[in-house]
Structure 1
Amino acid sequence: MNFTKEEQAISKFLPQSEIIVLTYKEGITEYYKRLDLKVPLLRSLDRIHHIFEDQNTIQNIQIGLFKLEVLDYPINVFQEALLNAMTHRDYENQSSIIIKFYPEEIHIENPGAFPEGVNSKNIISHQSTPRNKLIAETFQKLKYVQRSGQGVDIIFKDMLALGKSAPDYTLFSNSVQLILRSAMEDIEFLKFITKEEEKHSTFSVQEICILKYIKSNKKISLSEAAEVAQVSNQSVQVILNDLIQKKNIIQREHRNSYMFTHRVYAEFENQIEYIKDKEFDEQKGEVMILEYLSKNEFITRREVERLCGFSSTTSKRVLKALRDKEEIILVGESKSSKYTLKN
């Protein structure tokens, strides 16, 4: 029924299929344009896309000798978000889909909760079943979507890869709201991803999420990577190994800690930060070792690895630094060697 050309039939039998589009101006809290769509879904898509395209401006970013044209919102991101709203909304709920165009944000408010099995902690990786399967299949047959599923992975990947903030999903009592923000928060990250994708195949959404986290937080643990990528520890270990071995983007710093390689820090023109991070960790490790030895007579290199989370190489370097400072001395040789405070 929703694809019929009879608008009167839609108003009569499916009034809840209405889509309301509101447009706002800078600094004004009230909308200045309102469009109420009680028309077939395909016609609604076309009308909404015209409004979207009128507001979707381009920013030119210089990357080496080339200029990259970056839209406020990638067209496929907005289309996926809009199609998700139509295929996953609860048509038993009498509320309308509401789309709000702000100068720097787009809000899509969708009646109903998340699809079954989906929550904010698995929304990227969970392959959901559309609440309205017939609508989803029709969109797929008409080539509006490339595959079944949520398409949320596309939304996250493309927004983050362009240096923009992550899509913001919020679950309310009877609706889900998605906020997309146009501001480019991290041009360095955009340039880095663009250059790397020229060398390698494109990154997965999980890889993008992990790399973005490291860019913002300098390091990531195994458990943090699993949480950010929304996959199991076992699965994320495979992803991390690929970023280490095949793409040479990250390195294992401690037993379960990962950071960018020196090459990547150089890409970000941030070699000083790279060195400072390592030095800070090693200085902190020295303090931990001395504190341990104030309560225990000896410490072994293996115990240093466990205590500080250092690799074998880093542990040796930190212990040597303490010996050079004459804070500790080596007792014994080879496998039986251990360290104690110098009197």
Structure 2
Amino acid sequence: MRTIPMTETLDIEFKSDIKQYPDRDLIDEIVGMANTVGGTLYLGVEDDGTITGVHKNHKDAIGVTALIANSTVPPITVRAEIITEEKDVLKIEIPRSRGVVSTSSGKILRRRLKLDGSPEVIPMYSYEIPSRLAELGMLDFSAQPLAGAVLEDLDPTQRARLRKIIQNRQGGEKALLTLPDDELDIALRLVTEVGGKYVPTVTGMLLIGKEERIAALMPTAKSTFQVLEGTAVRMNEDSSKPLLELFENYETYLKAWNPERETEYGLFRIPIPEFDWSAFREGLVNAFCHRDYTMLGSVRVLLDDEGMVISNPGGFIDGVNLKNLLTVEPHGRNPALADAMKRIGLAEKTGRGIDRIFEGSIIFGRPWPDYSESTSRTVKLFIQRAKADLPFAKLVADEQNRQGKPLSIYTLMILSLLNSERRCNLERIVELTNLSENKVRSAVENMLEMGLIEASGNGKNRSFIMEKKIYREKNESIQYVRQTDIDSIRYPELIMKLARTQNGIITKQNIIELLNISPSQAYALIKQLQNEKKITLLNGGKYAKYKITD
């Protein structure tokens, strides 16, 4: 069986070694991969995936490992081994570098995908190095002094806006308001000392800089707000405004394009917006705080018939991926900017704004936010337009009122999952939520105690459904009974039906695959059918077969 991939990707590289691939080119490829995402290089495989074999001079895996270490600065430690698939191939596993590495001759390279999807190694230019270090958490670009900026580039009007936000926002640190302007700037790292005098930092210019100076000194700090109805462009505004003013503008824009539907809740009527305000605000904060300010491009907010997209230049930083978004320790590309936003009151204090983004959709029974179209160069958040599931929203609101506190994001995710999937076992919940088994198990047990869900079965076959109240609210009592009882009642009937389609023969494995149950449950059903004289043992042993009784 072939273990070598069939095609090249960003982290998979093939190199022909029929004519002995040059060592200097091999080192270039290794450096490029280490400076990107790492990966595996197969020496002895053609670009089309054909295995042609490694050259005899490259069959010494230890020697190749030493060559790579001696030809890179700092030395790259790879794992190399000869594998045999049709012919010998040298497999080289390259770790992702924790810094910026170069060849011993001084070349700094990185890897990218071309338009046709194939990879290539290209130079990493000097202006890209800060971006790489920020991505690895080794440099806070937002705390750096902005070249060419002077204190006069900070706008007093925007500083007054900053003070107003601190005063009005619930999370704002009110103690900051007692500071004079120069001390406030230092406290929020809006300025830093260089050569005995203070100059604006990247954070300072982004938050309270003059618009024309931001445009001149930071051409990367752009944003776009767009609204499309079908193919018609209803709004398209590009901006280089400071972030505090920009946030206020974007919230005003959203109000015009975010219709609300009122629903009754007890004696009150509450509005349900198409897009949750907290989710929008946190999505916007994340886009600006985590974007790569060394890259050209704009933070983009797009509203169209499908939903809302918030995207920003710069992929996920090191250690963050689609599967651990909700569990990874909070850390960002621009800590100084993120810290200032938290202290002002614009960002989530805990750094868990992603929880708010998911909560904003889940509490109304809508599809989860989607980051799946993010790439190594862009993070894209998509929040789908969807009708609110009012019975589900009421269930969540009732439980939160009863407890006097919000439900955890894990509880909300599991409730949402069971609401859409109807029935899940522990393994399935872990798979779909990307949460650890221990977190899921703990959340599920708490939800059982609270009466939010119900369980059936034992051990690994224990499965969970929403409690009957939600089915009653949706006028789906029949579906509730079906979920809890009818399936197990029909098991013998389904087994007999399958046996008849197989010339009257059935095996335990057939039953396991048919009903998705455990071997012990399958054996219990076999014994039941034997006791009822519906089937008899045809032949015993490990692969026992049973025959329908004539």
Query: Which of the five TM-score ranges fits, normalised by the shorter chain?
Result: 0.7 to 0.9
Partner of 1:204: 408
Partner of 2:219: 15
Aligned equivalents of 1:30, 1:58: Cα separation in 2:
23
2:256 to 27, 31, 54: 54
Aligned equivalents of 1:282, 1:276: Cα separation in 2:
10
Aligned equivalents of 2:456, 2:399: Cα separation in 1:
20
Partner of 1:283: 490
1:144 to 338, 346, 350: 346
Partner of 2:380: 177
The structure-2 alpha-carbon separation of the partners of 1:215 and 1:270, relative to structure 1 and needing over 3 Å to count, comes to same
Summarize the alignment of residues 75-154 of structure 1 with structure 2, pairs less than 5 Å apart: 75-102=277-304, 105-154=307-356
Partner of 1:239: 443
Identity of aligned residues (%): 24
Q: One-letter code of the match for 2:384?
A: R
Moved more, 141-150 or 192-201: 192-201
Q: One-letter code of the match for 2:534?
A: E
Moved more, 259-268 or 230-239: 259-268
Q: Shift in Å at residue 135 of structure 1?
A: 0.7
Aligned equivalents of 2:266, 2:528: Cα separation in 1:
41
Moved more, 132-141 or 319-328: 319-328
The structure-2 alpha-carbon separation of the partners of 1:70 and 1:134, relative to structure 1 and needing over 3 Å to count, comes to same
Q: Does 1:33 align with 2:239?
A: no
Secondary structure in 1 aligned to 2:407? Answer: coil
| Rg larger in structure | 2
Q: One-letter code of the match for 1:164?
A: R
Do the aligned partners of 2:206 and 2:242 also contact (CA within 8 Å) in 1?
yes
The structure-2 alpha-carbon separation of the partners of 1:321 and 1:196, relative to structure 1 and needing over 3 Å to count, comes to farther
TM-score normalised according to structure 1 size: 0.81
Partner of 1:261: 467
Q: One-letter code of the match for 2:465?
A: M
Aligned equivalents of 2:530, 2:319: Cα separation in 1:
56
1:271 to 477, 494, 497: 477
Do the aligned partners of 2:455 and 2:462 also contact (CA within 8 Å) in 1?
no
Partner of 1:168: 370
Q: One-letter code of the match for 1:134?
A: A
Q: One-letter code of the match for 1:57?
A: P
Partner of 1:73: 275
Over residues 206-229 of structure 1, what are the superposed CA-to-partner deviations in whole Å (9 max), with x where a residue is unaligned?
111111111111111212212333
Partner of 2:147: none
Secondary structure in 2 aligned to 1:34? Answer: strand
Aligned equivalents of 1:248, 1:167: Cα separation in 2:
23
Q: Shift in Å at residue 23 of structure 1?
A: 2.2
Partner of 1:220: 424
Secondary structure in 2 aligned to 1:15? Answer: coil
Secondary structure in 2 aligned to 1:131? Answer: coil
Partner of 1:333: none
Partner of 1:189: 392
Over residues 232-290 of structure 1, what are the superposed CA-to-partner deviations in whole Å (9 max), with x where a residue is unaligned?
11221111111112334232345332222334433433221122233124423664499
Q: How many residues align?
A: 324
Do the aligned partners of 1:285 and 1:308 also contact (CA within 8 Å) in 2?
no
Q: One-letter code of the match for 2:329?
A: Q
Aligned equivalents of 2:368, 2:338: Cα separation in 1:
25
Q: One-letter code of the match for 1:184?
A: K
Moved more, 235-244 or 255-264: 255-264
Q: Does 1:2 align with 2:2?
A: no
Highest relative contact order (Cα 8 Å, sep 6+), 1 or 2?
1
Over residues 176-207 of structure 1, what are the superposed CA-to-partner deviations in whole Å (9 max), with x where a residue is unaligned?
21122332253332222223323334321111
Do the aligned partners of 2:343 and 2:349 also contact (CA within 8 Å) in 1?
no
Secondary structure in 2 aligned to 1:135? Answer: helix
Higher helix fraction: Structure 1 or Structure 2? 1
Q: One-letter code of the match for 1:183?
A: A
The structure-2 alpha-carbon separation of the partners of 1:319 and 1:265, relative to structure 1 and needing over 3 Å to count, comes to farther
Aligned equivalents of 1:30, 1:262: Cα separation in 2:
45
Aligned equivalents of 2:294, 2:369: Cα separation in 1:
26
Aligned equivalents of 1:62, 1:36: Cα separation in 2:
39
TM-score normalised according to structure 2 size: 0.53
Aligned equivalents of 1:168, 1:283: Cα separation in 2:
38
Do the aligned partners of 1:106 and 1:180 also contact (CA within 8 Å) in 2?
yes
Aligned equivalents of 2:481, 2:527: Cα separation in 1:
18
Aligned equivalents of 1:23, 1:315: Cα separation in 2:
60
Q: One-letter code of the match for 1:217?
A: E
Secondary structure in 1 aligned to 2:220? Answer: helix
Partner of 1:45: 247
Secondary structure in 1 aligned to 2:269? Answer: strand
The structure-2 alpha-carbon separation of the partners of 1:315 and 1:89, relative to structure 1 and needing over 3 Å to count, comes to same
Q: Does 1:230 align with 2:434?
A: yes
Aligned equivalents of 2:436, 2:493: Cα separation in 1:
33
* 5+ residue gaps, structure 1: 330-338
Aligned equivalents of 2:424, 2:251: Cα separation in 1:
39
Aligned equivalents of 1:135, 1:43: Cα separation in 2:
15
Secondary structure in 2 aligned to 1:156? Answer: helix
Q: One-letter code of the match for 1:269?
A: N
Q: Shift in Å at residue 295 of structure 1?
A: 5.8
* 5+ residue gaps, structure 2: 1-204, 537-545
Q: One-letter code of the match for 2:207?
A: F
Q: One-letter code of the match for 2:467?
A: T
The structure-2 alpha-carbon separation of the partners of 1:285 and 1:172, relative to structure 1 and needing over 3 Å to count, comes to farther
Q: One-letter code of the match for 2:402?
A: K
